[in-house]
Structure 1
Amino acid sequence: MALRVGYVPEHFSTPIFFAQKHFGLDITAVPFPSGTGHMIIALRAGEIDVGIGLTEGWVAGLGKEQANDGGYKIVGTYVETPLCWAISTGSSRPEIPGVDSLRGGKIGVSRIGSGSFVMGFVLADQRGWLSTSASPDEKPYKDTVVLNTFANLRNAVNDGTADFFMWEHFTSKKYYDNGEIKRVGEIYTPWSSWKIVASTAALARTADLDDLFAKLDQGIAYFNDHHEEAVAYISTALDYSEEDARAWLATVRFPEHTRGVSEATIDKCIGILQKAGVLVDGQGATTAEMLN
């Protein structure tokens, strides 16, 4: 049985497509447009074997787990560069001119534990909304609104259900260009942005995982050498403009070898998430326990 691999069907998935098309990567690719938090649920439910998603989502999921092994381990690195999260509100929200006006507002997230959720706390920490609160119990946001999909998030900031949300820059840009939403700022992850995880049950499938890593490495090498083919794919199958596809290519770096994870990267992620109040020191999995 082929590995069931969860992924986000955005421009970052292009090397996976190339690995399938050109190098015979034999997987059942399962799209998760709602992101990493949904993949965590699917991994724990035994619905997928591998997930390719955001570092902060995987780390937060394991760092909050108290009862067992968390259902998955971090086994590889998919993207080495940070992720640029665009901060968006509704197109007709004059009361929200910039990031400073978001404090005490309603943050829209795809799921609790997702990257969009975690980065809300990283933003609050960077802006001093956690450390300078008058009361230690004061929260940086009035409410956290779970909306599941990118489309729901865009609708919510326009109808007032939420005041803002964060999503990857180039995926958001199309909706700035057409006037559906308004950009008020951005924030970069303080770590490399994408990791590969495997369910604890799938860790025993060493031959399948070896093949996955080898074929992903080939797909990435092909991607690096065939940017025009990448632009053509991204601007047709994935619904980005050619201009945005080319701009993204200038910002992203995939690893030469996907197998393995830097412990220092996970340590840094845990430390910042603890400082931001997402994780609690001494609770949940340690770095060593998160890695295979």
Structure 2
Amino acid sequence: MSITVLTFVILERQIGSVPTPWPSWLVAAHPTRAQPENVSAFLGTLTEYVRSFDSAESREHANVKFIETNFGYPAEDIKAWLKTVSYPEQCLEIPRKVVTDTLGVLEKAGVVKAPEGGFDLENFVETKVAKLT
């Protein structure tokens, strides 16, 4: 999983960065309009593309060239950054730790409040589509 970093800037001066526990991207589908089997099929296909993108060959050449061409970063910076980025092995699996860590950060920030007895992680993942691991 890739790590998103929240950066705090006050009066145009950076005062710090906080790595977030959640992935930098997600796939969302409307619970009453999307068919679970279609979303699962999509995620299964996405897994193949993610594995290809994450290959050593792609990280060394194709990904560097793409980022360099489209975003103008120097190749050395791109290679260093790619060493810090990780991707899921399986897009149909969501680690429980990602969900619990995310909820913990959101709770500390006052965005969510844990119910008596804690969060039921099944409420945050459509288990007909992906499984908690």
TM-score, normalised relative to structure 2: 0.71
Work out the CA distance in 1 between the residues paired with 2:40 and 2:71.
28
Larger % of strand: which?
1
Are residues 230 and 214 of structure 1, via their aligned partners in 2, closer, same or farther at CA, if it must alter by over 3 Å? same
Cα-Cα RMSD: 2.6
Work out the CA distance in 2 between the residues paired with 1:217 and 1:279.
30
- Residue aligning to 1:213: 43
1:260 partner amino acid: E
Work out the CA distance in 1 between the residues paired with 2:71 and 2:42.
23
1:87 aligned to 2:8? yes
- Partner SS state of residue 279, structure 1: coil
How many residue pairs match? The answer is: 120
Unpaired runs of 5+ residues, structure 1, are 1-79, 90-162, 164-180
- Partner SS state of residue 221, structure 1: helix
Match of 1:235 among 68, 86, 110: 68
1:222 aligned to 2:52? yes
2:94 partner amino acid: V
- Residue aligning to 1:256: 89
- Partner SS state of residue 14, structure 2: strand
Deviations 1:160-195 (A, max 9, x none): xxx3xxxxxxxxxxxxxxxxx643321111x24233
Work out the CA distance in 1 between the residues paired with 2:23 and 2:68.
22
- Partner SS state of residue 230, structure 1: helix
1:289 partner amino acid: N
- Partner SS state of residue 54, structure 2: helix
Work out the CA distance in 2 between the residues paired with 1:249 and 1:204.
34
- Partner SS state of residue 28, structure 2: strand
1:230 Cα deviation from its structure 2 partner: 0.5
1:203 aligned to 2:124? no
Deviations 1:221-251 (A, max 9, x none): 2122212100111112244343332222010
- Residue aligning to 1:289: 123
Are residues 274 and 210 of structure 1, via their aligned partners in 2, closer, same or farther at CA, if it must alter by over 3 Å? closer
- Partner SS state of residue 27, structure 2: strand
Are residues 205 and 280 of structure 1, via their aligned partners in 2, closer, same or farther at CA, if it must alter by over 3 Å? closer
1:204 partner amino acid: Q
Work out the CA distance in 2 between the residues paired with 1:200 and 1:255.
23
- Residue aligning to 1:49: none
Work out the CA distance in 1 between the residues paired with 2:92 and 2:34.
13
Are residues 219 and 238 of structure 1, via their aligned partners in 2, closer, same or farther at CA, if it must alter by over 3 Å? farther
TM-score, normalised relative to structure 1: 0.36
Q: Is the 8 A contact 2:7 2:18 kept in 1?
A: yes
- Residue aligning to 1:159: none
